[in-house]
């Protein structure tokens, strides 16, 4: 125990020594009192108080720490709990071309969304699929992907599946052949979209509104993805990707008949940049400039308290109760929650005006946490599930 405590002190010393100054941050007792008053524990499933707090959000951005267990199961339960309150759409950080497969799978139409999707979002997709099986078609939860397609080779296999599902129409067969032959993708995609637009009424009659919309989304998504891929990798491409994701989310919000949940990495969930290479992340764009999300976007980040995760390139065990300063927010949440998941809305003015210490694993950030996020959910223990 002495060795473990000594090592924990070394970790804290390293964090403090290499990180920001903790001078002037809110003291433990003052922050503990706020957390103890406002925290909502998950003593018996998702608490009604949390559902009521989130139910009227037009856009709920859920930020995740990638590759940890428990996250997808929690979000699946949250989606199902919010569906009776008007949630109609779930948007996932996954290559856009898989939208049709994700949606078909969760509606019980397809047998699989693909291996990659099951590895990444298996528990979440299964939960939505089970819920949709109990709902009439016009009330089922739609699932869409809103990230760029990494390469044209990533785009073509699932798109060929969509072409097959639609009966191999000439316009799409010609598009696939052109892309495989190395024709300029912008020209090939534009030509296909023009042909579809000219035959829109006939296409909708043949496939239905939903299938036509999914197809138009796929062509638009690949056109945006190709534009991002032309930018040299680095901060500039990161910014272009973020702009493309914003456009893809805005399109889905415009189509959604109700509220939407957007599940992305927690960097994307920042309403004001505090980490990463992008100046304006997705949640900030949505909150400030989205036709359907401006002033109606809530950023909720799901954070782990202990377990194992990828930190600075290697998988290691961690525990914020041992590795964080005494007045660090997640350490205090862990203490108050007592080993169960918990929700903390950052409604108190102190979260907006006071300097607080937050351990985002591995980086300590000091400042008002509500500048970036609106609430946290703390998972008591997680495992690394590399995808």
Three-class HEC string of 40-76: EECECECCHHHHHHHCCCCEEEEEECCCECCHHHHHH
> What pLDDT shows up at residue 11?
44
Alpha-carbon span 245 to 242, nearest angstrom: 5
> What pLDDT shows up at residue 43?
95
Alpha-carbon span 357 to 344, nearest angstrom: 15
* CA 230 vs CA 17, 185, 327, 376: distances in Å: 40, 11, 46, 36
Alpha-carbon span 375 to 84, nearest angstrom: 22
Alpha-carbon span 266 to 299, nearest angstrom: 9
How many other β-carbons are positioned within 10 Å of the β-carbon of residue 12?
18
The pair of structure tokens assigned to 171 is 């316009």
The DSSP call for residue 328 is B
Alpha-carbon span 285 to 267, nearest angstrom: 13
Q: For the full predicted model, state whether its pTM sits above 0.85.
A: yes
Q: What is the DSSP string of 346-380?
A: --STHHHHS-EEEE-SS-EEEE-GGGT-SEEEEES
Burial class (CB in 10 A: 0-12, 13-18, 19+), 184: exposed
Alpha-carbon span 125 to 102, nearest angstrom: 8
For the chain, percent of residues with pLDDT exceeding 90: 94
Ranges of residues in the chain with a pLDDT under 70 are: 1-18
> What pLDDT shows up at residue 214?
95
Contacts by 152-160, CB closer than 8 A, 24 or more apart: 152/179, 152/185, 152/222, 152/226, 152/229, 154/95, 154/97, 155/95, 155/97, 155/222, 155/225, 156/180, 158/95, 158/97, 158/98, 158/100, 158/101, 158/114, 159/97, 159/218, 159/222
Tell me, rounded to whole angstroms, the distance of Cα 148 from its chain centroid: 14
Q: Does an H or E element contain 264, and which?
A: strand 259-265
* CA 255 vs CA 150, 259, 288: distances in Å: 25, 11, 19
> What pLDDT shows up at residue 18?
57
> What pLDDT shows up at residue 354?
98
**Dihedrals phi, psi of 103, to nearest 5 degrees:** -70, -45
Helices 152-165 and 99-106 meet at what angle, rounded to 10? 50
How many other β-carbons are positioned within 10 Å of the β-carbon of residue 68?
22
> What pLDDT shows up at residue 346?
98
> What pLDDT shows up at residue 264?
98
CA neighbor of 310 nearest in space, from 21, 65, 112, 95: 65
CA neighbor of 78 nearest in space, from 385, 381, 379: 379
> What pLDDT shows up at residue 309?
95
């Amino acid at each position: 125990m002495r060795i473990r405590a000594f090592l924990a002190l070394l970790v804290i010393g390293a964090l403090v020594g290499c990180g920001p100054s903790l001078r002037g941050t809110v003291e433990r007792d003052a922050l503990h009192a706020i957390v103890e008053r406002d925290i909502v524990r998950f003593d018996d499933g998702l608490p009604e108080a949390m559902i009521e707090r989130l139910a009227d959000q037009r856009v709920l951005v859920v930020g995740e720490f990638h590759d940890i267990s428990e996250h997808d199961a929690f979000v699946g339960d949250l989606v199902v709990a919010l569906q009776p309150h008007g949630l109609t759409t779930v948007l996932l950080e996954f290559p856009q071309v898989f939208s049709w497969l994700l949606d078909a799978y969760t509606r019980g139409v397809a047998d699989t969304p693909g291996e990659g999707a099951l590895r990444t979002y298996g528990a979440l997709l299964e939960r939505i699929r089970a819920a949709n099986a109990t709902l009439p078609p016009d009330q089922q939860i739609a699932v869409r992907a809103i990230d760029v397609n990494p390469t044209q080779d990533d785009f073509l296999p699932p798109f060929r599946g969509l072409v097959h599902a639609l009966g191999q129409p000439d316009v799409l067969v010609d598009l696939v052949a052109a892309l495989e032959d190395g024709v300029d993708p912008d020209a090939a995609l534009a030509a296909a979209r023009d042909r579809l637009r000219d035959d829109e009424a006939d296409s909708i009659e043949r496939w239905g509104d939903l299938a036509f919309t999914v197809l138009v989304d796929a062509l638009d998504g690949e056109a945006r993805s190709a534009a991002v891929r032309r930018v040299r990798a680095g901060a500039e491409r990161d910014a272009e990707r973020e702009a493309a994701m914003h456009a893809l989310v805005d399109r889905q919000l415009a189509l959604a008949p109700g509220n939407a949940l957007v599940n992305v990495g927690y960097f994307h969930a920042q309403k004001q940049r505090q980490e990463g290479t992008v100046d304006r992340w997705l949640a900030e764009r949505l909150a400030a400039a989205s036709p359907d999300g401006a002033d109606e976007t809530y950023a909720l980040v799901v954070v782990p308290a202990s377990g194992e995760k990828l930190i600075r390139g290697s998988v290691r065990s961690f525990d914020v109760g041992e590795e964080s300063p005494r007045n660090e927010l997640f350490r205090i949440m862990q203490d108050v929650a007592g080993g169960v998941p918990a929700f903390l809305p950052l409604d108190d003015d102190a979260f907006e005006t006071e300097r607080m210490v937050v351990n985002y694993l591995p980086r300590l950030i000091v400042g008002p946490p509500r500048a970036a996020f609106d609430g946290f959910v703390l998972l008591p223990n997680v495992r690394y599930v590399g995808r």
